[in-house]
Amino acid sequence: MQPLDGIKVLDVARGYPGSYTTMFLGDFGAEVIRVEPPVASLLPLPGIDSSSAEYSAFNPLNRNKKSIVLNLKNDDGLKVFYKLVEKADVLVEGFRPGVMKRLRADYPTLKELNPKLIYCSLTGFGHDGPYASWPSHDSNYIALAGALSLIGQRDGPPCLPGNFLADMAGAGLHSVIGILLAISARERTGQGQFVDIAYVDTVMSLTTMETINYFFTGQVPRRGETPANGGAPWANVYKCQDGEYIALGCGEPHLWADLCHALGREDLLPYQSPPPEERDRVISSLAETFLTKTRDEWASFFKEKGIAGTPVLYLNETFTDPQVLHRHMLIEVEHPKLGKVRQIGIPIKLSETPGQVKSLGVVANSDTEEILSSLGYTKYDVEEIRQRGALG
């Protein structure tokens, strides 16, 4: 048994972060169907054919899902889509506001077909407001939300953190939360609802700890100046002898004291949170100390002494780390043609109803006939609507 057994999900997101959202739903038992267009518009990946069977298998965003290609601009294709909607519990889409309405597949339309449908829409700025139609991407969302201003070194330019802030941690995970809340509410009310997820909103939520201080003091936090972004000796990144880096997180007074005693730097005990005029001196003093050993030597030292410090790993190192392996965050799944395929594991650990990777990702259109058969279409019907341009 899994928590979402019996839940049927239509993934109309056509890529992350919506497909990241539905990955979690599939990992925990939901039946997920990717509804894809006849011609995919995937972001190019250097050196990778994103339409290949190999890529589909290695792509965790497509695991535990089936795929059907439908032309929603075609009346027959739309009729098939409506039949899927009538049996669905959840729909996830990531189009700009107005697109689904033009396709006759927006929430008010689909609600008439299935009042219990939970319709989750991911957009940059939401479906209303002055920015609703503004085309943007991750870097734009984190910039407007104030998060980008906090990332980078003091007196340096803002530093883009990658697509995991607005896309994945922001919209992707908040969508999972919103959908699960809506499922819970439906158990009591019997009604579905519209889940409106805006990237900017979710990134703002992720800045909660910095905004607490801003609202309380009125002081605008700057990158490299707050404890959370490199402005404190105890929470910082330091270069080592070999040019690699270690990260400290000695926040509590006893952890700072442990660090100072282990380093033989009792002179720094009073300076866990130094006044601004002393901050650079303390950080520089620690920086000189950490230049005396390599990253891995410091990592061993930290573990031996019980210090809150870790090496800054590259991804290839992360996936060989003993803690990562122990927690099954690297998994291998058997593929009939490719052998063992490596993927990132499932981060949510449930003791009684754990997540599972039951199937690897398949190329678009792999399950069209099977899905149509489950809707009552015969082979003759399938060929007929294919000839009319409804299918891929």
Q: What is the pLDDT of residues 62-116, one digit of tens each?
A: 999 999 999 999 999 999 999 999 999 999 999 999 999 999 999 999 999 999 9
Average pLDDT over residues 218-245: 93
Distances (CA, A) of 253 to 234, 249, 274, 309, 315: 10, 11, 13, 15, 31
Residue 358: pLDDT above 70? Answer: yes
Over residues 123-166, the pLDDT tens digits come to: 999 999 999 999 999 999 999 999 999 999 988 999 999 878 99
pTM of the model: 0.93
Which pLDDT score is estimated for 43?
Answer: 60
pLDDT at 45 over 70: no
Distance CA 390, CA 388 (A): 6
- Closest among 293, 285, 286 to 244, alpha carbons compared: 293
Sequence length of the chain is 392
Q: What confidence tens digit (pLDDT) does each residue in 321-348 have?
A: 999 999 999 999 999 889 999 999 999 9
Quick one: three-class SS letters along 122-160? EECCCCCCCCCCCCCCHHHHHHHCCCHHHCCCCCCCCCC
Helix (H, G, I), strand (E, B) or coil at 40: coil
Q: Which residues are catalytic?
A: 137, 167
335 contacts 363 by C-beta, under 8 angstroms: no
The residue among 27, 12, 18, 22 whose CA lies nearest residue 199 is 18
Confidence class of residue 41 from pLDDT cuts 50, 70 and 90?
low
Instruction: Please give the average per-residue pLDDT across 225-236, as a whole number.
Output: 91
Burial of 54 (0-12, 13-18, 19+ CB in 10 A): middle
| Cβ-contact 309, 248 below 8 angstroms | yes
* Domains in the chain, CATH or no CATH each: 8-206+330-387 (3.40.50.10540), 227-239+245-311 (3.30.1540.10)
